[in-house]
Structure 1
Amino acid sequence: MPHPALDLILQRTSVNHFDPSFSVDEATLAELVRYASEAPSAYNFQNWHFIAVHSTARKAQLCEMAYGQRKVLESSATFIVCGRLRPHLGLRDALKRFQDTGHVDAETVAAMVDSAIQTYADDAQMQRDEAIRSASLAAMTLMIAAQAMGLASGPMIGFDPDQVRAGFDLADDELPVLLVTVGRPAPGNWPRKPRRPATDVLAIV
């Protein structure tokens, strides 16, 4: 029998119309991020940051930065999903609990940190690519978690990143990669759009 998680993947759709009367509480927002943080990342960087835009006033500000898209106002919350540049700087701390539980020794951690420094420290493009990869993986995990919790979601790339960076006081190493709206769907959404068959997008060599 297929695992229920496979059904969640097939059921998930990107929602554009949300019920503005429905509210997700802060505990649920935190739980969504807890699951999103289980996403993979290179070296286990975990180089993501989530801002849950939940209050009416802040949603109104974000809506303007997202070119007036009303789903930002009507959803219960919109996550600004950021990837962090210079991920190698936080790697030792990210690996500390793994070392403390005896899975790796200090020498292995030092080697991993040294490898990450060599790979990322002087390569701005690699840092940007890694920030986008990590944030995207975390955002997809968040959307699957939302689906599992009976919520609808929708990823958004239509926003002004400079305005978001300034308006939400992002650090200079934070790259706003995408927005993810979360809430309860309202009538008027399209049905799930069909996907290309695997035979169109798969090469087995």
Structure 2
Amino acid sequence: MNTSVIEAIERQKTTNLYDASKSIPDDQVRELVRLATFSPTAFHLQNWRFIAVRSPEAKARLRAVAADQPKVTEAAVTFIVVGELAVADVMADRLAGSVAAGFMPVEMVPGWEAAAKSLYFGKPQIQRDEAIRSATFGASGLIRAAQAMGLGTTPMIGFDPVGVSREFSLSDNEVPALLVAVGYPTEANWPQKPRRPISDVLAFA
């Protein structure tokens, strides 16, 4: 059992107040996203994108469509975690690395393509659901990576998706699923909030 992972999960808390004077270098931003992309996706679609909003101008534009939340501009970076609508025609490209590595037979790819097409083709709600799921998995990985680096995080759903899509030029097949602010927390933040009892949230079947 990896107790360090368990301890990290138990220490997780949401940051509300950030030290706006502290920044995060580009290489660290890249590493956060690299680690986030180890999160799972259906069919290995990897149907996500991470927009690192860092400049004062970009932060101001995002804050204007994110309920004027101070965290957007005070955190070192606020990520727009974007899910792509799930489609089968990208399957060969997304599986190319597994084929090249030698553990996935190339003959298996058309079967995966057919399964994905059967699940998603002509089903916009299921496509959108998958986009949200994948982006959420990616955001969770991003949060864990930031925590491991000693950074605070805030997942946020308080934003106008149409406004975010407009301001950051998202394509028609992209859904802004959530925002994740990342930066250095101040000492004024609350401690971790208590969780509901397991008896309230667990059922055996």
TM-score w.r.t. the length of structure 2 is: 0.97
Residues in 1 aligned to 2:150 and 2:202: alpha-carbon distance in whole angstroms = 31
Match of 1:167 in 2: 167
Residues in 1 aligned to 2:185 and 2:200: alpha-carbon distance in whole angstroms = 31
Residues in 1 aligned to 2:145 and 2:172: alpha-carbon distance in whole angstroms = 29
* Deviation for aligned residue 1:188: 2.4
Match of 2:84 in 1: 84
Structure 1 segments unaligned to the other structure (5+ residues): none
Three-state SS of the structure 2 residue aligned to 1:16 is coil
Residues in 1 aligned to 2:135 and 2:18: alpha-carbon distance in whole angstroms = 24
Structure 2 segments unaligned to the other structure (5+ residues): none
Match of 2:4 in 1: 4
Residues in 1 aligned to 2:138 and 2:204: alpha-carbon distance in whole angstroms = 27
Residues in 1 aligned to 2:149 and 2:157: alpha-carbon distance in whole angstroms = 24
* Deviation for aligned residue 1:35: 0.6
Three-state SS of the structure 2 residue aligned to 1:122 is coil
**Count of residue pairs the alignment pairs up:** 205
* Deviation for aligned residue 1:87: 3.2
Retained in 2: the 8 A contact 1:53–1:59?
yes
* Deviation for aligned residue 1:3: 1.6
Residues in 2 aligned to 1:149 and 1:183: alpha-carbon distance in whole angstroms = 10
Retained in 2: the 8 A contact 1:47–1:87?
no
Retained in 2: the 8 A contact 1:14–1:154?
yes
Three-state SS of the structure 1 residue aligned to 2:99 is helix
Match of 2:51 in 1: 51
Residues in 1 aligned to 2:169 and 2:191: alpha-carbon distance in whole angstroms = 37
Cα RMSD of the aligned pairs, angstroms, is: 1.1
Q: How does 1:79-118 map to 2 (within 5 A)?
A: 79-118=79-118
Three-state SS of the structure 1 residue aligned to 2:35 is helix
* Deviation for aligned residue 1:2: 5.1
Three-state SS of the structure 2 residue aligned to 1:132 is helix
Residues in 2 aligned to 1:139 and 1:177: alpha-carbon distance in whole angstroms = 9
